[in-house]
Structures are given as structure tokens and as C-alpha cells.
Amino acid sequence: MKFTKTTEQDSNYNNLEKMSITDLLQNINTEDNTVPKAVQKAIPQIETLVEQVVNKLEQGGRLFYLGAGTSGRLGVVDASECPPTFGVSYNVVIGLIAGGDKAIREAVEFAEDSTTQGWNDLTKHNVSKKDVVIGIAASGTTPYVIAALKQCNSEGILTGCITSNSNSPLSKVSKFPIEVIVGPEFVTGSSRMKAGTAQKLVLNMISTTTMIKLGKVKGNKMVDMQLSNDKLVDRGTKMIMSELNITYTEAESLLKTHKSVRNAINHYNNGN
């Protein structure tokens, strides 16, 4: 199958090394401004996939992100931020990267070229039909991701993807593809730039919308967040103050007693 990799096409700019710092920054920003519009066009695809994710997680399933390089790192970031933000277990949203944890900080040569390791990484977590696996690859051609999704399909596991090329091999093997077409990168082929930004925006949308629909947000507050530092304890205390119209000292005492914003609010309301 032939398709055009817009992410690999020549940059709209040339002679970058001759540009001033101001020109470089302004031109990068000009390109970055096109990304939200590309994401907006993909909202119907994102909505369709999120509906599936919510349904699976409501039934006790999990969400897996699978990628290599920048794509894998962004998946790991989004997954790792769900527990502290929404109070879910680290086993609910799981980010896997070609080459393992070492690849989060260092490039692992040829890890993305394996056609077996992606599925092996998933099976280590006992992936099943209850789960959703989203492959992330700007090019849409990463063997580590494509082969894993093919195996997921054969096992009856729901699959989705995030890519920045139309009609890619990855889209073809995904039941619910998301294609965010950002066009050529400022530095030709450097898909950590616009494509990476698009992936981050879409991942934010998927995880945040899913967690809201699962009841992990009240009003607009992170009532289930982990109280892992003084800043978050202070934020939680102020949430309780605002919700219950009580003093900071009272709110802080409730939070320390009940260990979460939600529990503190519920206990106060039930007791009064």
C-alpha cells in the first residue's frame, strides 16, 4: 500500500541555520498554531474512540498506550499523570514504549522495528478483551505498534491509534483510528514537533474526558487527586473551603482526617 507521509515532506522553510533567533522562534510558533486546528478536525474520530474507552473502563477494563520514541514517551507521560490527577490505580492507564523504561530517557536502537515485542509487552500486563489498546505513531508505520495492534485484533481486543498521516498502515489495522494531519515539520521529518504536540493534545483529551465521564471530577475540581505534596494538600483544602463554605482550618482538618477531597466533602454533607 502506498500513501503520502506528510510528516516526512520537505519543510515549508529553508536555510534555517541562517535565520535569527527571533525568526526561528516566530516561524516555529507559526507552525505550532496550525496544530489545534488539525486536532479540531479530528474531534469526531476522537469522540468515537473515547466512547469505546469509557465503556471498557466502566466495565473494569484498562487503557493501554503503545508507542516508540517521542510517541511512546508521550503515552507514558499521559498514563503516569492519571493516578495523581484522578486518583485511579497505576494499573488503569498504562503506557508502554518500545525498548522499555530505558527508552523513556535514551533512544534504544531498532527497538521500534520489532514485530513481536509490542505484543510481548502487552502480554506482560495480561491484556485481554476487557481492555483498549491505542497505538501512537506519527508516521503510522512503526512495526512495534502495527504488529501489536494486529495481534490485538486477532485476540478480539479493541484497538485505536493516533497518527499524523492519512491512510497509514497503522490506521488500517486500528478499529478506531485518529488521524491528525499537521503537515510538514519545521525541521523536515522531526515529528517530535507538530506531530508530537498534536499527540499530546489528543492524549489530554482522551484521558481527561474519560476520567470526567467515570466520575473522577466534581464540578471542575480534581476531587480524587492524590495528596502527594504540600501544594496539592493546600489545593485540596481550598476546594473543600469553596465547596462547603467553611474556614481553611476546618477544611484542612477534614482533609487530613478523610484523606481525600471527595471523602471530606461527602462526610461533611452526610453528617450535616
Q: What is the pLDDT of residue 188?
A: 97
**Residue 1 pLDDT > 60:** no
pLDDT tens per residue, range 172-190: 999 999 999 999 999 999 9
Distance (Å, rounded) from C-alpha 11 to C-alpha 30? 13
**Residue 272 pLDDT > 80:** no
| DSSP states of 166-233 | TT-HHHHH-SEEEE----S-SSTT-TTTHHHHHHHHHHHHHHHHHHHHTT--BTTB-TT----SHHHH
Contacts of 16 (CB under 8 A, 6+ apart): 24, 186, 187
Mean pLDDT of 239-244: 93
Distance (Å, rounded) from C-alpha 202 to C-alpha 6? 19
What are the φ and ψ backbone dihedral angles of 37, each rounded to 5 degrees? -70, -40
Torsional sign, CA 69, 179, 200, 95: negative
CA distance readout (Å), 211 to 22, 116, 248 = 40, 31, 28
| Cα angle, residue 124 at apex, residues 97 and 155 outer, rounded to 5° | 95
Percent of the chain surpassing pLDDT 90: 94
Mean pLDDT of 80-93: 96
Confidence of residue 270 (pLDDT cuts 50, 70, 90): confident
Q: What is the pLDDT of residue 121?
A: 97
Distance (Å, rounded) from C-alpha 162 to C-alpha 160? 7
Are 65 and 94 in contact by the 8 Å Cβ rule? The answer is yes
Percent of the chain surpassing pLDDT 70: 99
pLDDT tens per residue, range 22-61: 999 999 999 999 999 999 999 999 999 999 999 999 999 9
Report the candidate in 161, 206, 168, 163 with the shortest Cα–Cα distance to residue 182.
163
Active-site residue (options: 8, 81, 155, 250)? 81
Confidence of residue 220 (pLDDT cuts 50, 70, 90): very high
Q: What is the pLDDT of residue 30?
A: 98
**Residue 2 pLDDT > 70:** no
Which one is predicted more confidently, 114 or 270?
114
Report the candidate in 142, 98, 117, 159 with the shortest Cα–Cα distance to residue 7.
142
Q: What is the pLDDT of residue 107?
A: 87
For the question of residue 31 being annotated catalytic, the response is no
Distance (Å, rounded) from C-alpha 66 to C-alpha 47? 19
Which one is predicted more confidently, 107 or 1?
107
Q: What is the pLDDT of residue 201?
A: 98
CA distance readout (Å), 258 to 9, 56, 132, 266, 272 = 55, 30, 33, 10, 16
Mean pLDDT of 7-12: 95
pLDDT tens per residue, range 195-211: 999 999 999 999 999 99
Partnered with residue 247 across adjacent β-strands are none
For the question of residue 51 being annotated catalytic, the response is no
Active-site residue (options: 8, 17, 47, 112)? 112
Q: What is the pLDDT of residue 40?
A: 98
